[in-house]
Structure 1
Amino acid sequence: MSNSVLGSVTMGYQPVWNAWRQRCATRLVVEPHLSGAVDAQHLLHTLHELWPASLEAQILVVRTPALLSDLLDHTPAQSLWLEVPDAWLGDALLAGRVRKAQQRGVRLLWRGEAGQPPAAELQGLFHKTLRSITPHDALAALRAALQRSHDGGTAGPGAWVSPIVPGALYEGLASQALVEHALDHQAVWGVAGWPTEEMLYGYRYKQIQPARQLLLDLVHAIDADESLEALEHRMGNEPLLSYRFLRYANSAALSLRTEIGSVRQGLMTLGYSRLRAWLMEQMPHASSDANLQPIRAAIVLRARIMERLADAGIEDELRREVFLCGIFSQVDLLLGENLGAALHRLPLPGRVASAILGQTGPYAPWLEAASALESGNTKVIRDVCRAHDLQADEVNRALLRSLAAAA
């Protein structure tokens, strides 16, 4: 039965990151198709089934007032959050539903235009606010951050005043300095989206290294004699480490008789002792830059969604190929070099290279769909699904299950 409601909407997503650079929430964009109305109760039941409650906040971003009105009437207390655009509060009927939902204990998120605070009479209705800043506010925030840095954080009241509001959510922060100021100094609740290009610009003259914590987790997993499947999954959470591992497994230093085309094959061939020794060799150069964590996590989530899209009727070995296709589709961001040159250093199946470099082959539709979902642009998502004959219910199901597993 859930197929019908998932087939009647287009979904996309946007992670929200906290001060520890962990995902603390996900904004799930939901837009009904033009063909008809959506049963709000059925949608809520399906979301609960496929994307059960977790420690992270689950925020529904509904693109039509009619569906939001229905969700306000039926969403249980303390479950999904509902995002409410300020512009829609001019509708007296919807505003009344907002008040009733708040009285029932539904968590509501106010969202307004850049630089616009919620009206004073509305503030008590909302659990949190989602804000964006104007260029003028961005400049003021950067000046406050710079002055704070110069003064060592000891300046008196009024010496530096930031327009960033503590406890709020922010979207559209376009620089590392703004994100760090918001999360680390102004104690905002979370940042929606991540300035990936600007974060990586700081590494233009130096090499990014695998995450130290993930290396430690792998070593501890080996010491605890975890299963091969568990090690493979852990390795997959670090795209750069997976790439380097495959390069190492195929290096002349090991002189293996066969090419290693997957992480699992490499783990089986090298064994736990040799893997542990190699991981310890990576440790002195490992990275502790927390700002890279959202970038890694986004790449891995893309790969997990691809894996789910390919789930029906595909062999395990091919599913692993699909996952590699996902995590290596952006490995150039972490390597700082040409993507084609990076992929040609590995004995990857032609299907993987064709999808990433040529947007062709059997894996290309899943890669394009998973990439589109990240944008949250429902028109783009619909166009991609239509172009590749991907059914909306299958794509939405893969997205929800991937978000649940990642949480």
Structure 2
Amino acid sequence: MVQSVLGSLLLGYRPLWNAARKLAGVQLYVHSAGATVVDAPHLLRTIQELWTASSPPLLLSPRTQQLLMDLLEHAPRGAPWIEVPDAWLNIPAVRERARQAHARGLRMVWRGELNHLPDAATAQLFDNSMLHLSSTDAMLALQAAATGKTSPLIAGQLYDNVASRTLAAHCLDQGGALALAGWPMEDVLYSLRHRPLQPAHQVVLRLMKAIDEEQSIDRFEQILGEDPLLAYRFLTHCNSAALGLATGVDSLRRGLVIMGYGSLGRWLADQLPHTATEPDLHPIRASMVLRARLTEHLLAPGAGKELRGEVYLSGLFSQLDELLREPLGVILRRLPLSERVYNAAVLHTGPYAPSLEMACALESDDGGAIRQLCETHELDPEHVNRCLLRVLSELVVTRPENH
């Protein structure tokens, strides 16, 4: 049996966010697993098989020179964008392959410092840039945002190392950035610390519309699970004295069955006036939902729907402390959730912990941490990578409208 290429590498990811604060694409980190040589053509074919026309644009970021050279040599026109670090262009073999790749129409992204841009001959090889903002660049950009002076930013580029909400707004709203790699979650939440965070207005409306259209309970559960705050409030309501249930509601699905269409619609109508429309919160919610989906998919195949629902909640609620500004253990103890959910999210123990820990590790380019988790929990790298690619391929991207 031919071994899949997905067993010979380690992957990680980072979302790319556009000016609408919606997903613009995904950066996929690609590490070699040990001394094994990655079959670059096989990797490209595997991604092509999993990706559809509605899947997000992909930026491949190989983490070894050999893997980069192999991808540049074999990737055809129309393949995902490939990131080329500036430092590696000093190596003649890398530069020559980049030149050949450009000649056959491969799209490449130059990665380097904003204050150390490539010369004209190098720049013409690339379609775009991933520009890293130094502390000095960030300070100059923030000063420009405050005073209206000329910004050091270059429009139409990707930006990295954007750690503040103000800087993110300047990059996307005034600087014309194509997208930001990652999102300044910590600073966004800190800037909103003086007001309670609310569920997303758009998610509540979508669920109300699904009720009006009498869609399936599966669809209700899916939409409800797209906002961690809404899901948490729903379970809190289901377990409140107002409903007076004899037994606790420990899952979204059970709560939906008990409430029924009418009660659910009325509860949502009560929530609507208090919902949030803050765009800067969307990448935070979307990232939490992505973690939950990954956690669920990483669970061993064959698990039933009820168990998968529990695993999903483990991922979805794993960062509620960031939103509610309370210890996670205190938050989760208010609900009659399965001990397995609490143990995974709070204690990092139990049967769901390996899936949740891996979902968290995949949110970075730390190949060593991912490799260690595979060994510790006896997770098959091929299974982990296939789950990641499948979940990423199903993400919805808001395409810019053509005028």
Aligned residue for 1:393, secondary structure, equals helix
- Counterpart for residue 13 of structure 1: 13
How far 1:98 sits from its partner (Å)?
A: 1.0
**CA separation of 1:25 and 1:230: change in aligned 2, threshold 3 A:** same
- Counterpart for residue 309 of structure 2: 320
Distance in 1 (CA, whole Å) between partners of 2:335 and 2:381 is: 34
Aligned residue for 2:303, secondary structure, equals coil
- Paired residue type of 1:132: H
Give yes or no for the alignment of 1:85 onto 2:75.
no
Contact 1:89 1:95 in 2 (8 A): yes
How far 1:76 sits from its partner (Å)?
A: 2.1
- Counterpart for residue 194 of structure 1: 183
Contact 1:207 1:336 in 2 (8 A): no
Match of 1:214 among 203, 215, 232: 203
Match of 1:243 among 205, 213, 232: 232
Of residues 112-121 and 164-173 in structure 1, the stretch that sits farther from structure 2 once superposed is 112-121
Distance in 2 (CA, whole Å) between partners of 1:401 and 1:83 is: 21
Distance in 1 (CA, whole Å) between partners of 2:36 and 2:140 is: 46
Distance in 2 (CA, whole Å) between partners of 1:135 and 1:28 is: 25
Q: Normalising by structure 1, report the TM-score.
A: 0.95
Give yes or no for the alignment of 1:259 onto 2:251.
no
How far 1:55 sits from its partner (Å)?
A: 5.5
Of residues 160-169 and 2-11 in structure 1, the stretch that sits farther from structure 2 once superposed is 2-11
- Counterpart for residue 124 of structure 2: 124
Contact 1:311 1:319 in 2 (8 A): no
Cα offsets for 1:320-373 (capped at 9, x unmatched): 000000001111111121211100000000011011111110001111111101
- Counterpart for residue 279 of structure 2: 290
- Counterpart for residue 347 of structure 2: 358
Contact 1:208 1:334 in 2 (8 A): yes
Contact 1:174 1:198 in 2 (8 A): yes
- Counterpart for residue 375 of structure 1: 364
Match of 1:182 among 167, 171, 181: 171
Distance in 2 (CA, whole Å) between partners of 1:178 and 1:198 is: 10
Give yes or no for the alignment of 1:75 onto 2:70.
no
Q: Which runs of 5+ in 2 are unaligned?
A: 397-403
- Paired residue type of 1:108: M
- Counterpart for residue 96 of structure 1: 96
- Paired residue type of 1:5: V
Contact 1:309 1:395 in 2 (8 A): yes
Q: How does 1:264-275 map to 2 (within 5 A)?
A: 264-275=253-264
Runs of 4+ that moved beyond 3 A: 51-55
Give yes or no for the alignment of 1:173 onto 2:168.
no
How far 1:54 sits from its partner (Å)?
A: 3.6
Aligned residue for 2:183, secondary structure, equals coil
Cα offsets for 1:296-320 (capped at 9, x unmatched): 1111111101111115011110000
- Counterpart for residue 222 of structure 2: 233
- Paired residue type of 2:267: W
How far 1:66 sits from its partner (Å)?
A: 1.3
Q: Normalising by structure 2, report the TM-score.
A: 0.96
Distance in 1 (CA, whole Å) between partners of 2:115 and 2:243 is: 58
- Paired residue type of 1:40: A
Q: Which runs of 5+ in 1 are unaligned?
A: 149-159
Match of 2:325 among 316, 332, 336: 336
Contact 1:53 1:79 in 2 (8 A): no
How far 1:114 sits from its partner (Å)?
A: 5.4
Distance in 2 (CA, whole Å) between partners of 1:175 and 1:381 is: 27
Distance in 2 (CA, whole Å) between partners of 1:215 and 1:371 is: 27
Match of 1:401 among 372, 377, 390: 390
- Percent identical pairs in the alignment equals 46
How far 1:277 sits from its partner (Å)?
A: 0.8
- Counterpart for residue 280 of structure 1: 269
Contact 2:80 2:107 in 1 (8 A): yes
Contact 1:2 1:42 in 2 (8 A): no
**CA separation of 1:170 and 1:2: change in aligned 2, threshold 3 A:** farther
Q: How many aligned residue pairs are there?
A: 396
- Counterpart for residue 34 of structure 2: 34
Distance in 1 (CA, whole Å) between partners of 2:216 and 2:3 is: 35
